[in-house]
Amino acid sequence: MATNHDNLKDVAESAVRLSLKKGANQASGRAYRVREVSVTWRDGKLEKIHEATTRGVGISLYVDGRYSTVSTSDLRPEALETFVGDAVALTKSLAKDPFRALPDPKLYEGQAKIDLKLEDPKYAAVTPEERRRIVREIEAAARGVKGSEAIISVTTDFSDTLSESWRVASNGFSGGRRDTTFFASAQVSVKEADGRKPEDYAFAGARFFGELPEVASVGREASERTIRSIGSKKADSAVLPMVLENRAAGRMAAFLQGPLSGGSLQQKRSFYEGKLGQTIGSPLLTVTDDPHVPKGFGSRLFDGEGLAAKVMPVFENGVLRNYFIDTYYAKKLGMAPTTGGLSNATWALGTKGRDALLSGIADGILVTSFLGGNSNGTTGDFSLGVRGFRIRKGAIAEPVSEMNISGNHLEFWKRLVAVGNDPYPYSAIRTPTLVFDAVQFAGV
């Protein structure tokens, strides 16, 4: 499929040449093609098959101090020329923005010379029959667990994606990428005696089809998680240790990382404003942005502007070291650009897994998921519904739900007292199990 990739490079180069020809001072273009296939199976029947290939080109135009971004899916040469000409003319009518410009070409330099292993060369070998076999197998496994008589519905899904793109900038950048992803999932609902119908899910993903875990394990996990929640109740309000399961911890980590963006800082919507070099969390909070993780879901050689992707400390022993700042907001803030957003989060890990961490807690709560709630990126205040299990004498006890935790991130992360050795493998945030001391739970 190299010819397809070459074609995308040609399209991106053509878009940039046309932009300059029509009057732009600078331009960048990204041509892309994405193939997605998914199969959904529900309660013993095929519910949906989706297959689509999308393609297009997005263009950033810098015209006499003015800026716009436009896109089109019509890549015929004559159509592209007309489209670009109209877009440049329209851009000339916009207000000037002196901070808009392509990155300094020096920031394109220094790309790592490594194979990130993002594309499965056997992607095309996955057949329609194989996809349907997978979703059937996941459901069979979900319905084969102990307590399955409580199940009222099982929905399973398998999806795969091949993405390819090429980016070109008029001041010297040119680079492409191809990647594949495969995901299998299951959602299970059960019926309780009081009429409630709790549900839960499980999923797994990989860059390479052959590296997916046994798909039956996804169905079993989804059912077991759901069945274990039967009979959950509010517990009494209390201040307790909280063990945050690695899968659920990703949401809390996302709240921590979101306000690190240059846009949030410049628009005064970040609780990190003015706190570079200050202590944000406990000494156990060490997180690095690492774009070079082989087969990582956030891995890249360059970011969305073409800046060479480099390993960057975000938090070191609780101290904030860097923001995520693209070229535009770097100019507005008077700071040096770093990168526009997170690639892969790499955490400094502890030596124990979830169960070993639980064993050291006499009384606490294991949080396995969040139910609604919000986090204010400006103030750091948050309030979240939680569900999970009571921890008694180091073991998982009765299920709990409809409880809330609240606080402020600038205080909450200083209560981090243990980090697991189990980063969640199916996300770019890759959170391990996290343990927090003295968390206020609001219940009965």
Distance CA 103, CA 117 (A): 27
Query: Of the CATH numbers 3.30.2290.10, 3.40.630.40, 3.50.50.60, 3.40.50.960, which one belongs to the domain with range 123-228?
Result: 3.30.2290.10
Q: Is 401 left (phi over 0), alpha (psi -120 to 50) or beta?
A: beta
Residues 6+ apart with CB under 8 A from 9: 31, 166, 168, 174, 176
Q: Distance of alpha carbon 424 from its chain centroid, rounded?
A: 12
How does pLDDT run along the chain (444 residues), one tens digit per residue?
Answer: 333 567 999 999 999 999 999 999 999 999 999 999 999 999 999 999 999 999 999 999 999 999 999 999 999 999 999 999 999 999 999 999 999 999 999 999 999 999 999 999 999 999 999 999 999 999 999 999 999 999 999 999 999 999 999 999 999 999 999 999 999 999 999 999 888 899 999 999 999 999 999 999 999 999 999 999 999 999 999 999 999 999 999 999 999 999 999 999 999 999 999 999 999 999 999 999 999 999 999 999 999 999 999 999 999 999 999 999 999 999 999 999 999 999 999 999 999 999 999 999 999 999 999 998 999 999 999 999 999 999 999 999 999 998 999 999 999 999 999 999 999 999 999 999 999 999 999 986
Fold match, 2-34+52-108 / 123-228: yes
Predicted TM-score of the model (pTM): 0.94
Domain ranges of the chain: 2-34+52-108, 123-228, 238-442
Architecture of domain 2-34+52-108: 2-Layer Sandwich (3.30)
**What pLDDT sits at residue 122?**
96
Contact 55/165 with Cβ under 8 angstroms?
Answer: no
3-state DSSP assignment of residue 437: strand
